Structure 1
C-alpha cells in the first residue's frame, strides 16, 4: 500500500520583537512607580498601627499596676539605698506584662540584645523607630517615655512621674491618676526615640517638651510623619496628632515655651 505523506506547514511560535519587549518593560516600570509608593505608605501605616497597639497594651498594663499601687504611676530614682534602685518604669510593669523579671533583672541597667531578659521588649519599641532594636547604649531600645513631673517649678513638666535620676527622696514621687481632672486631655506617655532611650534603663525614662524642642528638625526622631506622634493619655486612649496640637488653646508657643500649663502635657489642670 502506498503511503500518502501530507506536507504540513510548520507551526509558528509566538515571539516578541525588541520593540515589544521594551514597551512591556516600560509599562511594568510605570506600574511599579505607582505601586511602590502605595505599598510603602501601606507599610508605614501598618507600623504606625502597631505602635498605637503597643501603647494601648502598655495602657492596660499601667492600669493593672495602678490597681496595686493606690493609683500612683511607677516612679524611678537614683537612690542606691532604696530597694528599687535602678528600676525603670517598664521594669516595674514587668510584673504585669508577662515578663515577670526578678528583682536582680530589674536592677540591671538595660538589657543586652541577646539576653534572656530582653524577651518581650517588643511591646516597648515602635516598629517605625529609626534606631531599630539597639540603642546608643548598646541595649534594647525603648521608644516611649512617661510625661515628666518636675519639682522645681509650678508650671513646667506637669506630667505623671518624677526624674529617674533624682537623688533627693523628697522629690521622688508620682501623680495618682485619680487626681487628674481631665484624663482624656492629659498625656501620660509619648514617643521619644532618643539615641540612648533603652528598655530597663533610667535613661530617657521620662520626657518633657524640651526634648522635643531639641529634635524639631531631626526627621529620624519623628518615627512616622514629620512632627506627628502617638500619644497615650491618662484615660488609656491613644491619639496620633501633630506635636503643635498638644499646645492648642494654651496661648504658648509649642516650639519655644516650656510652660505646659493648659496644654495636653498638663496633667494638673
Structure 2
C-alpha cells in the first residue's frame, strides 16, 4: 500500500487551512445573524412592556429622568427604563426601572437576559456597567418641553409612529440626533464600523434592523415630530 509522502501531507494540510479560512467569515456572519435575531426578540419584548405601561399610565411614556436617591453620580441614564443593577455607582436600582415590572422578576443581584444584547462587546459591556444594552432616544423624544424631567409625551402625540425611533441599541440612538456621533467601533454591535445599521424600536411598536442616517441636533424638533 502506497504511503503519503511528507510533501503530500503538507499539501493536504495547506488545502484544509485554506478552506477553513474561506469558511470562517461565513461562519462569523451566521453567528452574528443569530445574535441579531435574539436582539430583535429582546426589543420585541421591550415593545410589549412599553405598551403595557401605556395602558397603566394614560398612554404616557416613562419619565425621561429617573433619580435614584440611593445611587451616586448622574443617574439620568438612557438605559434606566429596564434592566438589572449595573456596576457603575450611577446605575439605578432594579425596582426603579419602570418597564421591569412588565418583563420579569429580577433581584438586585440577579441577571436579566432580555436587557442584554448578545453582541454587547467586552470593550463596551453596557449591560454589566449600566444594567442594559439598550437606550431610549433620550436627546429630546421623551422630554417635557418645560423642564425635561418628565415625559409629557404620549403615544397619541406622535405624528408618524412607524418612523419615530424611541428605543434601541446605543450606537443607533446616538447617531440619530447627532451627526457622526457613533464614531467608535464598539458602538457597532452587529455590523462593521461605518455600516450604520442597528436594531431599533419604533413608536408604533415594531422592531427592525435598520439603516440610520446621521441627523443634525440643530434640527431635532423637525426630526422628532415628523421624522422624515
Q: What residue in structure 2 maps to residue 108 of structure 1?
A: none
2:216 maps to 1:260: no
2:121 maps to 1:130: yes
> Which of residues 122, 127, 143 is equivalent to 1:162?
143
**Aligned partners of 1:256 and 1:169: how far apart in 2?**
22
Moved more, 70-79 or 21-30: 70-79
Equivalent pairs, count = 201
Pair 1:100–1:142, CA change in 2 (3 A) = closer
> Which of residues 219, 228, 235 is equivalent to 2:204?
235
Contact 1:147 1:188 in 2 (8 A): yes
Structure 1: tracts of 5 or more residues without a match: 1-11, 81-85, 106-114, 150-156, 195-205, 245-253
Q: What is the deviation of 1:22?
A: 1.3
> Which of residues 95, 98, 106 is equivalent to 2:101?
95
Q: 1:88-140 CA distances to partner (integer Å, 9 max, x unpaired)?
A: 32211111112266xxx5xxxxxxxxx23xx22x212211122378449x635
**Aligned partners of 2:152 and 2:42: how far apart in 1?**
23
The secondary structure found in structure 2 opposite 1:95 is: helix
Pair 1:135–1:33, CA change in 2 (3 A) = same
Pair 1:40–1:171, CA change in 2 (3 A) = closer
Contact 2:178 2:215 in 1 (8 A): no
Q: What is the deviation of 1:237?
A: 0.8
> Which of residues 181, 184, 197 is equivalent to 1:214?
181
2:53 maps to 1:65: yes
The secondary structure found in structure 2 opposite 1:259 is: helix
**Aligned partners of 1:34 and 1:52: how far apart in 2?**
29
> Which of residues 143, 147, 154 is equivalent to 1:176?
154
Q: What residue in structure 1 maps to residue 88 of structure 2?
A: none
Which structure would you say has the larger Rg? 1
Q: What residue in structure 1 maps to residue 10 of structure 2?
A: 22
The secondary structure found in structure 1 opposite 2:135 is: strand
RMSD of equivalent CA atoms: 3.3
**Aligned partners of 1:255 and 1:126: how far apart in 2?**
24
The secondary structure found in structure 2 opposite 1:235 is: coil
Q: 1:225-257 CA distances to partner (integer Å, 9 max, x unpaired)?
A: 22211110011111222221xxxxxxxxx3544
The secondary structure found in structure 2 opposite 1:48 is: helix
Q: What residue in structure 2 maps to residue 146 of structure 1?
A: 136
Pair 1:174–1:89, CA change in 2 (3 A) = farther
Q: What is the deviation of 1:143?
A: 1.7
Moved more, 26-35 or 206-215: 206-215
> Which of residues 42, 66, 75 is equivalent to 1:77?
66
